[in-house]
Amino acid sequence: MRQHDVMKKLAKAEEELLGVVEVMADGKLWLRPVDKRIRKDTPISDVGNAKPGDLVLAEPHGRPPRIAARVTDILGDPFAPRSFSLIAIHKHGIPHVFPERVEEEAITASALPLHEDKREDLRHLPIVAIDPSDARDHDDAVWATPDEDEGNAGGYKAIVAIADVSYYVRPGSALDKEARKRGNSVYFPDQVVPMLPHDLSSDMCSLRSGQDRAAMACHLTINAQGKVTAWRFTRAVIRVAAVLAYEDAQAAIDGTEVDAAPTPSRKQADELLDVALKPLWACWALLRKAREARDPLALDLPERRVVLDEHGKIVSVAVRERLDAHMLIEDYMIAANVAAAKALEAKKAPVMYRVHEVPSREKLVALKDYLATFDMDFALGQVIRPSTFNALIRKIAEAEEKELIMVQILRSQTQAYYAPQNMGHFGLALGSYAHFTSPIRRYADLLVHRALVGAHSLELPVPKGGTIPDRTALSQDDYENMGRVGELISGHERRAMEAERDTVDRYVAAFLSAHVGEIVKARITGVQNFGFFATVDGLGGDGLVPVSTMGGEYFHYDEAGKALQGADSGDRYTVGQRLELRLAEADPINGSLRFELPDSPAPRGGPMKRDRTRPGTHRGRPMNIRHQGAKRGKHKR
């Protein structure tokens, strides 16, 4: 992907307003917010040099209720390439510019010697990295071979090699403090905001093909039943044989014919088929057997992927294909993550666990009520395991109903987080789990690496008199503040997820803006007493169908069944239902959509447009309208 120039570096601005300058019908200027949760526009008292259409920062001016906005900075064209992600960066306060000192330290750290003589030399092994074709960094690689030990007949030896980030990012350094401040990398369709400077994240710590790289190697012994029976960790030097795209690795295994000239990745996959890929797949067959016996939560729900052209314009929004190659890498990473947690526990060393707790009773009660609308029973007194939900899913024959129930099961789950106290990982059906495999992009993994260095005496020397701290193991500060850091990076993870989702929503709205007024196939994703939310099939992006546009009858709100039902017509709208809707509005600035039922009267003069005579309204009606009878579960126009 071509790298575009940053529109402008955004300052930290919790109290500032981010929006677009717009002219209303009376000629007055208003600030239209980019946050779709803010329904009200703000009058501009001082526009400065900004022009209508500019994306600007502004500060609140005046006293309530007459708050106005004073423009403080002009950021540029909100529709320019990378603007959507920059909006999310500012809105969520994501640090995106590295201080000069941190950049300088990254350059110094990247020049550190590998110490090949003090590392395990794995350069002779055909280790491969299998990643998305558009991956910006490569922090894991894998290798497997049949175990020659007669005591492990039918078993395998495997290595999961992870970039040795802890060697370059030392506790207490400027790099370390900035990485903790960020918590993780943030991935947008048009750019990545890395946790570490590019000298490390996409160069020295990225496992590039054919280049010597420092790695933390997790050696696994796997028996014929797929159980990991032994593990050890070493600091190693590796030379990745190839970086393969998931699709090319899968095609090589499947023997898929190539119509045109093969890509470099596919050519390498074919060349490494016998020595690297086939042993990996054979070992994975054992890991998969153990996974099936464990029966972790299996929710096969689609994931959106925004495809951009070289100019940063949206080409399509597609569902990511789910291949065996994806599941293979997942299972190797899970095995290494479990091994890291147990290796630290065996040494009574501190662990930054990845925790996923059992669903709360409140959410299970809501799920029980929802399942009852499908005539499905769900006993609350039973011991809840992932297999409990999997058994429910397997009972459902219709694909459409299955997707609906999987969505509700997903909503019943708790949010995973990081903590030094082990509460297990419910979704994966694991008693001990830590993140070890992505230290380039997750601070939690970096802490686990440091703990392993200390617990297994893997420290390496540093040239005397340098500016880089000499320790790579967990520091006293790391140890004492593990709980606080866990809360911090868990919050940063949620921030990143919201920013990524907001940006994808803006791209989807931009893509759909050319189709306003058209009938689209959609699926209901949520129901409230004021209307229902729907998403366009295959594209995503939630939009509201207000009850006020659904005719003059009363609609009863069934909270347990997540449905609205017409008192006279009997028309019922429920979560998961597929139907056709008219796209009434698609707003790329804040990523919002609005739909209408196909038989609703279209506004004169074509598709519905936003009323610019009154801010925050549609056809003169407030966007956040609440109807009489809402508390009684029914609405009236």
> From the centroid of its chain, how far is CA 360?
23
pLDDT at 618 over 50: no
pTM of the model: 0.86
- How far apart CA 416 and CA 394 sit, in angstroms, is 25
Pairing of β 120-121 and β 228-239 = parallel
Lowest-pLDDT range of 528-532, 554-558, 609-613: 609-613
Please name which of 539, 512, 528, 538 lies closest in space to residue 594, comparing C-alpha atoms. 512
- Produce one character per residue of 308-324: b if its CB has 16 or more CB atoms within 10 Å, e if not: beeebebeebeeeeebe
pLDDT at 623 over 70: no
- 79 Cβ contact partners less than 8 Å away, ≥ 6 residues apart: 510, 588
pLDDT at 66 over 90: no
pLDDT at 602: 52
pLDDT at 317: 76
pLDDT tens-digit readout, 133-151:
888 789 999 999 999 999 9
CA torsion sign, 417 to 420 to 425 to 428? positive
Kindly list the structural domains of the chain, giving each domain's residue range(s) and its CATH number in brackets, ordered by start.
Answer: 17-80 (2.40.50), 100-346 (no CATH), 361-413 (no CATH), 516-635 (2.40.50.140)
- How far apart CA 602 and CA 267 sit, in angstroms, is 54
pLDDT tens-digit readout, 222-256:
999 999 999 999 999 999 999 999 999 999 999 99
3-class DSSP state of 361: helix
In a 13 Å sphere around the CA of 430, the CA atoms on its Cβ side amount to: 24
Question: Which one is predicted more confidently, 604 or 404?
Answer: 404
pLDDT tens-digit readout, 440-462:
999 999 999 999 999 999 998 76
pLDDT tens-digit readout, 265-308:
999 999 999 999 999 999 999 999 999 999 999 998 777 788 88
The Cα-based distances of 228 to 141, 319, 432, 522 in angstroms read 18, 33, 14, 44
% pLDDT > 90, the chain: 60
Peptide bond into 65 cis (omega under 30): yes
pLDDT at 463: 62
With cut-offs at 50, 70 and 90, classify the pLDDT of residue 601. Answer: low
Taking the CA atoms of residue 628, residue 630, residue 632 and residue 634 in that order, the dihedral angle to the nearest 10 degrees is 80
pLDDT at 82: 79
Please name which of 421, 282, 275, 278 lies closest in space to residue 341, comparing C-alpha atoms. 421
With cut-offs at 50, 70 and 90, classify the pLDDT of residue 40. Answer: confident
pLDDT tens-digit readout, 379-433:
998 999 999 999 999 988 777 778 888 988 999 999 999 999 999 999 999 999 9
The answer to whether 342 touches 438, Cβ cutoff 8 Å, is no
pLDDT at 466: 65
- 82 Cβ contact partners less than 8 Å away, ≥ 6 residues apart: 4, 6, 7, 190, 191, 312
pLDDT at 357 over 60: yes
- Produce one character per residue of 493-518: b if its CB has 16 or more CB atoms within 10 Å, e if not: bebbeebbebbbbbbbbbbbeeebee
Q: What is the mean pLDDT of residues 72-89?
A: 86
- Mean pLDDT across the chain, nearest whole number? 87
DSSP states along 33-75: ES-TT----EEEEE-TT--TT-EEEEEEES-TTS-EEEEEEEE
Within 200-335, strands assigned E span 212-222, 228-239, 242-245, 304-308, 314-319
pLDDT at 101: 96
3-class DSSP state of 535: strand
- How far apart CA 92 and CA 76 sit, in angstroms, is 19
Lowest-pLDDT range of 146-150, 350-354, 589-593: 589-593
The answer to whether 212 touches 239, Cβ cutoff 8 Å, is yes
pLDDT at 635: 31
